[in-house]
Structure formats: C-alpha cells, structure tokens
Structure 1
C-alpha cells in the first residue's frame, strides 16, 4: 500500500528535517523525470480476448488464432511486508500467476534492511529497488514465467503527483503495471467517505465500478466492487503502459475475493518467519500463511 505508516507502526528513525527537505527536493525532481516517460494508453503486444461483462456473466474468452501465441499468460503481483520489531527490515515478495487458471506458477522473496527513510508520497524510492531486484532475478533464471503485466499493492497515477509506486515500477521495469489499493489515497478532493457513498448509491454488483473524478475533473482511477460478498471497494489506477479501461478488465478477471489474486497471493506468500512479518488485518483474520520450505536464489 502507498501509506505504509499504518501497516508498520513507527516507520523507524527519521532523519533531521533539513535532510528530509533536501531529499524530498531530489526525489521530486527524479520523479518528474520518470513521469515524463509515463504511458497511460495500452502499449503491449499480448491479447486479452473478449471483455468480462459488469454482470460477470460467462463470456467466450477465446483468443483469435492469429493472437493465440501472444496472449496474456503471466500476471505478477508484488508487495513488501515489514518486521514488527524493526520496520527498517522488510521482505519483498513476487508471485507470478497463470492468467487463465489464476494458479501460482512462480514465487520468490528477498529480505533487506531499508536505508531510505519513509516519506509520504515517495514510497517508491524506498521500495522499488527491492521489487526491481526480484524482477531481475526471475529474468536471470531464463524461465518462461517473467510477468507480462504487474499488479502492485498500491497506487499508479492515484497519487498526489500522479506517479505512485505502480507507475514508478512500470517505468523503470518497462512493463505494464496496475495499481490496486485497498484504501483510497486522498488526492484532488477525493474522499473515502464520498466515494463509498457514491458506490453505495450506485448499488454496485461484483465487477461494477464508479470513476474516481477529482475536483479538477480528472479521472484518477475507479472504485470497484470486486465481490458480491464484500461491500468495500478496491481502488484501481493505471500504472504504466495500460489504460484504465483495460486495467479494470484485467482486475475483474483476476478477482475471486476482495482483492485480485496476484495481490492476494503475494500478500499470503510464505515469509521467512511469519511471527515477524505484518499482514493487512483483513487478510490476517481470514487466512493462514502457508509455511513452505523456500530457498532464495
């Protein structure tokens, strides 16, 4: 998630104000440079097939013969969790799912000590190196499971400067990315209460959405009711190289529970010691960590 402070308690020792101010200035300039490379239209070679309807009716999702060899096969999910005893220690996780079956075909993690401070709005500078390392590792293994698209437990353009973790990762990794948030990032006058009220008035069913339109008139993303059994919406935003319309379509196809499977599975991925890693409360209360032997590459 973009707001890590609520997940990890105290975010660790904070540098002096003048150091933070200087760092924010540097990161703001770097962010603007990266943002200049942002693409918010569909920019990929794979095919999706027919769209999923808002009513979740069964549709023929067959790919045309000419696109069969280039269909979307592998969707990744990434996330970081933090040590309860020392929030500077983190575990980055990557899972890759088969898009058709939504089964996990690859998983990896790495544990690190974060040296960059937590500064709200600049989460990507702290977390992206860990995730980029995991993507590099799957690439070096020369296996077929490198994700064609990445879902991020966080935000894309739904961000104060329009460039959240999903966008940051997408530009640096040059991969289509989607931001999927469980809590609304308040930007451009958007408020969680108003969005939930609008979703309630719209009487959303599974797979249906309401646009997130700010005071400026900009569409920042969409709130989607992903499951009839859950009234809380999730918040979808384009990250990089994908339109909001396509991002919504992909997320719909990946939902069995409140959050799409790539995000859900990466949160549930086995960690080195489950006693010391945090899970969001809604996951922790319903799910049990799978304890598997795992040997990092």
Structure 2
C-alpha cells in the first residue's frame, strides 16, 4: 500500500485556510457568461465532468479525468485521462489542494488542443459552496479555471445545520455512515 509520507503540518493547514479565504472572495455566484445572459440563449451545448479516480489502497497514484459531452444529447466530444502522482495528502475540507492542479492541467490540455470544445459548465466530483468554509473543490476549480463549476459530491458534509441523520437519509436515499 502506498501512502503519503506524513500528515500536513499545522502551518500548511493554516496556509491552505488562508488561500481558501482569499480565493473565496473571487467566487462569482451570478451568471457571468454571454450565453447565460443572452436573450437568445438556446441552451447549453457542452458540459464537462472532472474527477480523480484512485486504485483501492493507493493514496498517491490516481487517474485525472475530464470528459466533455454535447448537450442535450450527451455524446462524448472529448476525453482526457492521465495517471498522476499526488503531492498533497488528503485532509478533510482541503480536497482542492490535492486534486485541483491535475484537473486544471486537464482543462488546459483541452484549451490548448481543441479550444472550441471547452465546456460551458463543469460538473466536479466534490463540494462547491456547500463546504465547511463555503469553498470546496468545485469553487476552487471554478475560480482558478474561470469556468462555471457545479459541485456534485458523493458524501454529505455535516455543515450549515445539515446532518447525516435518518430524516436526510429518507429524503435523499443516501445511506448514513
């Protein structure tokens, strides 16, 4: 089993908190793109999705993936998968510092090779504003890429008065763990 060499220092966590707070100030929660504001808006044409996938038991090597689909017919327009070696450990609330660099690289490869296929919105496997400091992976990627991003997390964070309880489980179909 491969693991990160050591947990982050308190100094590093403080640095990450500070960086999150600075970047949080740059989050735009309004429509910013011409296609969003145009009276002749005819709908989305391209949506993207990003994720880092891991081999079970390996916390260092992952596959960074970007897929762009046509919308609404969801035909694959572009795929990018690259094995990467993570340099930051997993720390709850700081997933962006572990994953964002590789997701940004995937978006940059697309922008360089086929800019006309850049997604109009990116779905991110992680939280956005629904985060301990209202700045999860989706916000981080959105600010740094300049693209509208939506967080689509698999796990419910216990923040802002939301708890993983039986009531939430019955409403979402999620299991309480």
Normalised to the residue count of structure 2, the TM-score between the two structures is: 0.88
Distance change >3 Å, CA 99–CA 126, structure 1 → 2: same
Gaps of 5+ in 1: 1-9, 49-62, 200-222, 224-230, 234-297
Counterpart CA distance in 2 for 1:97 and 1:166 is: 18
SS class of match (1:151)? strand
Q: What aligned pairs does 1:110-189 form with structure 2 within 5 A after superposition?
A: 110-189=82-161
Deviation track 1:202-222 (CA, whole Å, cap 9, x = no partner) reads: xxxxxxxxxxxxxxxxxxxxx
Gaps of 5+ in 2: none
How far apart in 2 are the matches of 1:97 and 1:119? 31
Note closer, same or farther for the CA distance 1:32–1:11 as it changes in structure 2 (3 Å cut): farther
Q: Match for residue 195 of structure 1?
A: 168
* Structure 1 pair 185–11 and aligned structure 2 pair: CA distance change class (3 A): farther
Q: Does 1:36 align with 2:31?
A: no
Aligned-partner Cα distance in 2 for 1:94–1:140 = 14
Q: Structure 1-normalised TM-score? A: 0.54
2:116 alignment partner, SS class: coil
SS in 1 for 2:35: coil
Equivalent residue of 1:158, what SS? coil
Count of residue pairs the alignment pairs up: 174
- 3-state SS in 1 of match to 2:14: helix
SS of 1:12's equivalent in the other structure is coil
Distance in 2 between residues matched to 1:120 and 1:182, nearest whole Å: 14
CA 11–178 in structure 1, closer or farther in 2 if over 3 Å, else same: farther
Larger Rg: 1
Distance 1:11 1:124, change over 3 A: farther
Moved over 3 A (4+): none
For residue 191 of structure 1, give the secondary structure of its aligned residue in structure 2: coil
Contact 2:4 2:59 in 1 (8 A): no
Deviations 1:76-126 (A, max 9, x none): 000001123522001100000111101211111111111111111100011
When the two chains are superposed, the root-mean-square deviation of aligned CA atoms in Å is: 2.3
